[in-house]
Amino acid sequence: MTGLFFAFLAWIVVRIMSRRIREGAGDGSLGYSSVVLALGWLLIIFATILTTSMFMGPSAVPDVPRSVVAAVSGIAGIVVLFKGVLTRGWYESSGIRYATPFGSKVDELWRDLVSVRYNSYCGWWVLKFKSGKKIRLSKLLCGYGGVIDRLRALGHHV
State the maximum Cα–Cα separation within the chain, in Å, rounded to a whole number.
66
State yes or no: pLDDT of 14 exceeds 70: no
Residue 152: phi and psi, rounded to 5, are -65, -40
pLDDT band of 18, cuts 50, 70, 90: confident
Residue ranges per domain, the chain? 2-86, 88-153
- pLDDT digits over 43-89, tens only? 999 999 988 888 886 666 678 888 899 999 999 999 999 988 999 99
At residue 126, φ and ψ (nearest 5 deg) are -105, 115
Q: What is the pLDDT of residues 81-112, one digit of tens each?
A: 998 899 999 999 999 999 988 877 999 999 99
Task: Give the integer Cα–Cα distance in Å for 149 and 111.
Answer: 15
pLDDT digits (tens, 9 = 90+) for 23-50: 887 789 999 888 788 989 999 999 999 8
> Is a pLDDT exceeding 80 seen at residue 137?
yes
CATH for 88-153, among 3.30.70, 3.10.620, 3.90.1690, 2.30.30? Answer: 2.30.30
Tell me the pTM: 0.74
